[in-house]
Amino acid sequence: MTNLANNPKLPEGVLFDLDGTLLNTAPDLGAALNNVCALYGKEPVHESIYTPVASHGSRGLLKLAFSEELQTHESELRKAFLDAYSNSIAARTHVYEGVVPLLNTLIQARVKVAIVTNKPKQLTQELLPSFPEFNVFESVVCGDTLSVSKPDPAPLLLAAEQLGVNPKSCIYVGDAERDIQAGRNAAMTTVLAHYGYISDSDSPADWKADYGISTPLELLDIIGLPQP
């Protein structure tokens, strides 16, 4: 595997997953889950349990406490969860350390940036205004922007098109298997964010990402740009 740092040509674009890659949204997702647990008389789920599942959407989180009830009441439970989450979507969510200087360095190097998330558009639009540092993103593609979502490559290819860049000259950074699958399917260089939501039952080595990073700023080492 050739290190991108040995390539004098910078990538044209860097695309990022949102939850577990740019933002730690687990605290507010977990709070929404426990709000539903309280509503239905269930014991709260501990942070250590829900955090690794935070990128698996409402169903993945609800399954932690309502595995049996989901079979018959999924729509009701999902609505309760989404209502609770929407009401407090950015209370404790925060940008991962290193993300802002990473973005600033990429922009200064004239590398275009985009977000490609499976989060629904409504929730994404409710969340992002709390983070004005993300105004640098020229494209935001959500889970329901198209009729398909990751691991399908179409959302990534749409983001590359909106940026006006060649997908083969792009990097996609994410913390889930579907992110790596989508990036590979789009012929992009894939980078696994090991600091994100990866559970003990996951096998990230099997996902075959091109690179892995333990902090956001390590991406600059891969690209060949100096860390600030």
Rounded CA separation 138/14 (Å):
11
Catalytic status, residue 17? yes
Closest-CA residue to 173 (of 85, 106, 79): 106
Place of tokens 């690179």: 211
Which one from 17, 28, 175, 179 is the annotated catalytic residue? 17
Q: What are phi and psi of 7, to 5 degrees?
A: -100, 115
**Helix H or strand E encompassing 14:** strand 13-16
Vertex 176 angle, CA 124 and 107, to 5°: 60
CB atoms under 10 Å from CB of 184, counted, come to 18
Closest-CA residue to 36 (of 5, 82, 68, 71): 82
Helices (H) and strands (E) in the chain, counts: 9, 8
Which one from 19, 28, 179, 210 is the annotated catalytic residue? 19
Q: Which residues are catalytic?
A: 17, 19
